[in-house]
Structure 1
């Protein structure tokens, strides 16, 4: 898969938040969207989406089941990982 960041529109089907319990990232907050509809092709594709740290903080309030949101992300090990800082996430949403 790709390592470059791109804008993508997602429709969450579920939104789950949590905190990493152990290891070097213990205490770090995250959000997971399992089976989100990813609208970057003609037909939506179901993907798992995750956001950590600042990226999570910047989009968490906009993640609602069934509500489209546009983010900047990369594919990493089969998961769509949100990477946009706050300004870029807002620009992506406005586009």
Structure 2
């Protein structure tokens, strides 16, 4: 599912205008990004937790040409699903 599909689904379920729904989704996503930039964790009950993790610098090798290069320290976002989310996923009959 991409962002436009999510907007359509929510606007249909809640009987909202798609432009208002788009503004709402973008506001929520912007708020999450702001909290992550401030190095705060974002906890959504029954869904999971988003938080920053600092990665150390490392030498990596390009598998195509074998050239080594250094990638400096950087941040990435980690997601830890809630127990409830994991239970809900595992209850579904997967094919």
**Shorter-normalised TM-score: what interval?**
under 0.3
Q: What is the TM-score of this pair, normalised by structure 2?
A: 0.23
Q: If each structure's strand is expressed as a fraction of its own residues, which one has the higher value?
A: 1
Q: What is the TM-score of this pair, normalised by structure 1?
A: 0.23
